[in-house]
Amino acid sequence: MPAVPPAAPDAVLVVDFGAQYAQLIARRVREARVYSEIVPSTMPVAEMLAKNPKAIILSGGPSSVYAEGAPTLDREIFEAGVPVFGMCYGFQLMATTLGGAVDDNGAREYGRTPLAVSKAGSTLFEGTPTEQSVWMSHGDACSAAPEGFTVTASTDVVPVAAFENDEKKLYGVQYHPEVMHSTHGQQVLEHFLYRGAGIEPDWTTHNVVEEQIAAIQAQVGTKRAICGLSGGVDSAVAAALVQKAIGDQLTCVYVDHGLMRKGETEQVEKDFVAATGVQLKVVDAQERFLNALAGVSDPEEKRKIIGREFIRVFEQAQAEIVAEAGAEGEDVAFLVQGTLYPDVVESGGGTGTANIKSHHNVGGLPDDIEFELVEPLRQLFKDEVRMVGQELGLPEEIVQRQPFPGPGLGIRIVGEVTKERLDLLREADAIAREELTAAGLDRDIWQCPVVLLADVRSVGVQGDGRTYGHPIVLRPVSSEDAMTADWTRMPYDVLAKISTRITNEVADVNRVVLDVTSKPPGTIEWE
């Protein structure tokens, strides 16, 4: 895996036709210990094949293959000798492109559906039951397989629910094997990867670390690098990985921008330095960031301001590091960032997807940045980053820490960011984290943003008097990788204790509310 974008060679490409599950397909391939990468269906087939993929998976999508403007693929993709697996829309596209029949005959199926496997020993279905439950979501249905294909499964209303062509290594299923509701879906996917495509499952955490170290060394050479260390999992693992690659050529810069949680700075200085021995420079930039954010309420503008100021601080740190080292002319040419794959996807980068938000590492950087970026985690999901951290020997307190956004509490205040509001939110956040830890819920909850609705006030009664205070929002979520999430069903007694303590102990807060929105439609953070 290269340290700089795009993709590793010999990846399994997941062609995204607008499916809600495209990222999940990529994750499931990785769970099979095979590297995967998502590409848009608009990418020319020649470019896909130029990546030398080990296999190609065609995702589902909301369109009918017969709809005007529906996504298509050049027939060449099925004739290039690369194993291809079509799912749902991708299955129907394969069928129509190669001469099969797909009809709008009213044979709609949504949700759990019984599947009858007619060729139990086939490449896809070897070792799975002849009757199994799968997850369907389609209107059109395949009524005839292309010439040379064997029909291997059907349902009560769809005669061709799976087909296979071992000679050409082309396979397809009408359903979604990537979702957990398809009871043997992962097994079917792995059969395609291992048996159909002949791929060895050798993409392991150890290999990721080795490949990234080599890529970082090749990119940085003998020059120096700095890393923006926030104390979060992503930047910590990125810093540890780069330090392992280039040693004392790396200096970590921790920017105390005043947007961190209570006790954060002390934890970074103590725990991370003790664990890695990395060179750490702490920059006090609280006043600078507050001045830059003064009067700004728009969340996108806040993110971009914070990203811009980070870079300006790093440029200042660059000169100071060179001066302190006494190495006149020594070049600090690289900036290490803990950018993850979901950050890239949600910022509209690399997949042809919509821009959901400007990530501080992706969409929030200024155009005149003077550093070359080193992003060793750019192709990884969060749980994969944690595994890399464990492989590098980082302590559990760092590796298993709940995610925290780079812009910090600046995007957990809905409204203008001020010192008073930050202090208020810091106290509420500290109480919530204390009680979640005391209840033993740290591993059950992926993340629990605590949000201050700074521009909202509500009526309350405290001390026999009327109050007009701010609401605090608790946003506990469960997730595998932050691409999708559901709100966590926390015990009521824990919620009650958090609410009571916040309203009793944090001045100017008289109401605590619970966010019970999944992602989608909401994002994990409020801004």
Other CB atoms within 10 A of residue 417 CB? 29
Q: Write out the two tokens for 416.
A: 């203008």
Phi-psi category of residue 376: left, alpha or beta, with phi > 0 → left and psi -120 to 50 → alpha = alpha
Catalytic residue among 178, 309, 346, 527: 178
Catalytic residue among 88, 142, 252, 448: 88
Q: Which of 83, 76, 100, 93 is nearest to 16 (CA)?
A: 93
Classify burial at 27, counting beta carbons within 10 Å of its beta carbon; exposed 0-12, middle 13-18, buried 19 or more: buried
The amino acid present at 28, given as its one-letter code, is R
Classify burial at 162, counting beta carbons within 10 Å of its beta carbon; exposed 0-12, middle 13-18, buried 19 or more: buried
* Calpha distance 347→38 (Å, rounded): 14
132: part of which helix (H) or strand (E)?
A: strand 131-138
The amino acid present at 276, given as its one-letter code, is T
For 257, half-sphere exposure in the C-beta direction (CA atoms, 13 angstrom radius) is 30
Question: How do strand 162-165 and strand 170-173 relate by DSSP bridges?
Answer: antiparallel
Cβ-count burial 375-394 (b if 16+ within 10 Å, e if not): bbbbbbbbebbbbbbebbeb
Q: Write out the two tokens for 248.
A: 């004392």
The amino acid present at 243, given as its one-letter code, is Q
Q: What are the φ/ψ torsions at residue 500 (nearest 5 degrees)?
A: -65, -45
Q: What are the φ/ψ torsions at residue 280 (nearest 5 degrees)?
A: -125, 130
Q: Which of 204, 12, 170 is nearest to 97 (CA)?
A: 170
88 is annotated as an active-site residue = yes
504: part of which helix (H) or strand (E)?
A: helix 492-505
Partners of 110 in the β-ladder? 137
Catalytic residue among 109, 138, 142, 176: 176
178 is annotated as an active-site residue = yes
Percent of the chain as helix, strand, coil, to the nearest 5: 35, 20, 45
* Calpha distance 295→279 (Å, rounded): 36
SS3 string, 377-394, reads CCCCCHHHHHHHHHHCCC
Residue 266 CB partners (closer than 8 Å, separation 6+): none
The amino acid present at 335, given as its one-letter code, is L
What is the set of active-site residues? 88, 176, 178
